[in-house]
A and B are shown apart, each in its own frame.
Chain A
Amino acid sequence: MNTAVLKMLISKIPHTHEDEIGCDDCFDELHKFAEMELKGKSPEKAMPLIQEHLDNCGECRQEYQALLEGMKELKEYS
């Protein structure tokens, strides 16, 4: 282990708590979260645990952004 790992872990401590959800729970709700955002609602308020996971998990966040880009191209909500 080195200080780089320590620094990254420590920097996430303020956002760390027992009730965080994992990637599976996030994935289960992601389409709903995306739909709210595409409809101009505030999914981060309605589903804060999903938002928190997206803030913490780079891969889920990347997929979420990609989902939004795909859906915008498909113009389902415009």
Chain B
Amino acid sequence: MLNWFKRRSQSSNSYQTNEEWISALKPPPDEEAIHQLRTYLVRGLKASLYKYVDRDLDDFVEDIAQDSVMKILDKYDTFRGDSKFTTWAMKVAVREGYSELRKKRYNDISLEQYSRYDPDEKDAVEIEHEQAGPDQLTHESMLVKKVMRIMEEELTDKQQKALQFLMIDQIPMTVVSEMMGSNRNAIYKLVHDARLKLKNRLEIEGIDPEEILNQM
């Protein structure tokens, strides 16, 4: 009963401290706190997303704020108190908003469409060299070809596929992770591992990355 009175009296106020927010969002959450949080996120999200939403910004932001509130209620206990609670909540909402935007933008792309990737397919440098006369195949292009070969030897099929999606097809990592049945963190790590492998191998081969870039 005491808690109910405390919550009632708090309802007329805004939530200022982290403790007030956390206390109000504990189950059963205070409706006024949920309303205020939602209103707060809507305001912030409009400023965060307006550049990237072509139409129906208000509806989109309302939906994202609603979904974000649900996520926040689900994991508010992971908030460590190392910033204002509202900043942490806004971070969750921005992630939600951008994930949704990226998926919406690419929702016509199916995994089937992009599973046409063929590792044996001729790459641009090979085609370019086939078109060039023998005297045009300089020492520089041989180095690039060598590094291309190294890249194909070092990287797994999965890494090559992820790079194809990200760098050639320009598909956002959020979408690629769904297409590959993974998550964004794992895709980032996959690409990081590819960079690391290439770096280590170039060091072993004594090839300076700057020199390759100068020749491309």
Spell out A's residues near B (CB within 8 Å): 1-14, 16-18, 20, 22-24, 27, 30-32, 34-35, 38, 57-59, 62-63, 66-67, 69-74, 76
Instruction: Select A10's contact among B46, B152, B186, B212, beta carbons within 8 Å.
Output: B212
Q: Is B105 an interface residue, CB under 8 A from the partner?
A: no
Bound-state Cα–Cα, A68 to B46, Å: 12
Spell out B's residues near A (CB within 8 Å): 40, 43-49, 82-84, 86-88, 90-91, 93-95, 97-98, 102, 119, 123-125, 144, 147-148, 151-152, 155, 160, 163-164, 167-168, 172-174, 184-186, 188-189, 192, 194-196, 198-199, 202, 209, 212-213, 216
The chain B residue with its CB closest to the CB of A66 is B48
A-B pair number, CB within 8 angstroms? 142
Instruction: Assess the B95–A27 pair: CB atoms within 8 A.
Output: yes
Bound-state Cα–Cα, A8 to B164, Å: 12
Instruction: Select B163's contact among A1, A10, A24, A62, beta carbons within 8 Å.
Output: A1
Instruction: Assess the B83–A32 pair: CB atoms within 8 A.
Output: yes
For B98, the chain A residues whose CB sits under 8 A away are 59, 62-63, 66
Shortest 7 CB-CB contacts between residues of A and residues of B:
A73-B47, A70-B44, A2-B124, A70-B48, A66-B48, A35-B83, A24-B185
Instruction: Assess the A3–B188 pair: CB atoms within 8 A.
Output: no
Instruction: Assess the A23–B188 pair: CB atoms within 8 A.
Output: yes
